[in-house]
Chain A
């Protein structure tokens, strides 16, 4: 199963993860 997130944000939004990285629920995904 997969979850796709699509969202609008200011252009300076940055993901704090890398492709292929394992992640847990509640962990930081991105920030401004």
Chain B
């Protein structure tokens, strides 16, 4: 080796012009990709968010994380031999702390792949729902929580990121969000002026929205009048003399809009126009909380409260790990990563829920949004800071969005 190292003559050859040109093209492409990754328009369109952190973060940033995530997902979708499944899943459960007593179905041989096991269901009643206004949407660990001040969300102590960068805002200079053709699987149907049937369950509109029942002409509450007539049990069969001749839908829409306006419960779409970041009603504040799902956790997420999702925004981004270590090291990780922002309202005003993808779980599924596709390989990546948008108004004309009850399953994270 020493002889070869010292005595082998070096002979230089001229590179063909085509190879040199190809090299320049590759270098230019890498430079463009890096600048796209580092520059992220802030809420005022002036600031930028760069990949900031120690050397480990920059090493990870140089890796093709999205491609690795998709390969990981493909490998975990491969069907495992039946004899191996109990052993393999028990090993996985032992390693990551899964509780096999609560999974449904309990027979491990029925999970064809690790991906299927990862997206497992729980037995009915395995997660009792607390009687409170806000419950945890998933199993996990609370990373952080607090109040949002000046439109900035605290990631770790002393470091913040922009709320508008997280949720997205329309602003001049950026291409308009694409309207996605939306085919909701779950439907809400108005039964009469006070009740709606949502996925087979009858809800009082006022209880759902947290708005008071309007008084009748005689001054008696609407609820008392309601109790005098039977609650309709089958769609389209009820007859209600109090409903206007135009039909129950128009009546309920007008009625709900009136109540909502009275209570200041206006749709997010309207409130967002011209609203400075972080502004809320008097005596109100904007709160946030971040919940981290570890690899062994149940990976479906549920509605944390009764609310109406009005729109979703899909941000195509990177897929950095979102482990507590990474959150501590990489500033703006929640703004850089691929995510789906679900925006709407609950009884106290604005409500938003943002599932954020990661390297091992890059795919986000929303049950009521069949058009959503995440972690998809694409030749032309959309400009950073833009998002694909879908509006859920067709899901329920009366509620102007997709209604969700507390603890209702919303979707989940897939491996890869």
Chain A positions within 8 Å of B141 at CB level: 20-23
Q: Nearest Cβ distance between residue A5 and chain B, in whole angstroms?
A: 5
Chain B positions within 8 Å of A27 at CB level: 127, 130, 135-136
Hey, what's the 0/1 contact readout for A11-22 against B, CB within 8 Å counting as 1?
101011111111
B153 near A: Cβ within 8 Å? yes
Chain A positions within 8 Å of B132 at CB level: 16, 28-31
B74 near A: Cβ within 8 Å? no
State the total of A-B contacts with C-beta under 8 angstroms.
171
Q: Nearest Cβ distance between residue A3 and chain B, in whole angstroms?
A: 5
Query: Which of the residues B144, B291, B346 comes within 8 Å of A3, measured between beta carbons?
Result: B291
* A19 contacts B144, C-beta separation under 8 Å: yes
* B358 contacts A2, C-beta separation under 8 Å: yes
Among A4, A7, A21, chain B packs the most CB atoms within 10 A around the CB of A7
- Nearest to A22 among chain B residues (CB) is B141
* A6 contacts B145, C-beta separation under 8 Å: no
CA of A31 to CA of B304, assembled, Å: 12
Query: Which of the residues A5, A9, A17, A22 comes within 8 Å of B304, measured between beta carbons?
Result: A5
Q: Nearest Cβ distance between residue B119 and chain A, in whole angstroms?
A: 12
Chain B positions within 8 Å of A13 at CB level: 285, 287, 348
Hey, what's the 0/1 contact readout for B115-136 against A, CB within 8 Å counting as 1?
0000000000001111011111
Query: Which of the residues B136, B290, B291 comes within 8 Å of A26, measured between beta carbons?
Result: B136
Chain B positions within 8 Å of A20 at CB level: 141-143
B92 near A: Cβ within 8 Å? no
- Per the CB 8 Å criterion, the residue count for chain A at the interface is 30
B138 near A: Cβ within 8 Å? yes
CA of A22 to CA of B361, assembled, Å: 20
Chain A positions within 8 Å of B281 at CB level: 8
Query: Which of the residues A1, A2, A7, A26 comes within 8 Å of B346, measured between beta carbons?
Result: A7
* B283 contacts A15, C-beta separation under 8 Å: no
Query: Which of the residues A2, A3, A6, A25 comes within 8 Å of B163, measured between beta carbons?
Result: A6
B289 near A: Cβ within 8 Å? yes
CA of A17 to CA of B302, assembled, Å: 18
CA of A29 to CA of B301, assembled, Å: 14
* A8 contacts B284, C-beta separation under 8 Å: yes
* A1 contacts B357, C-beta separation under 8 Å: yes
CA of A22 to CA of B280, assembled, Å: 30
* A1 contacts B356, C-beta separation under 8 Å: yes
CA of A26 to CA of B301, assembled, Å: 10
* A26 contacts B135, C-beta separation under 8 Å: yes
Chain A positions within 8 Å of B130 at CB level: 26-28
Which A positions have Cβ atoms within 8 angstroms of B? 1-11, 13, 15-32
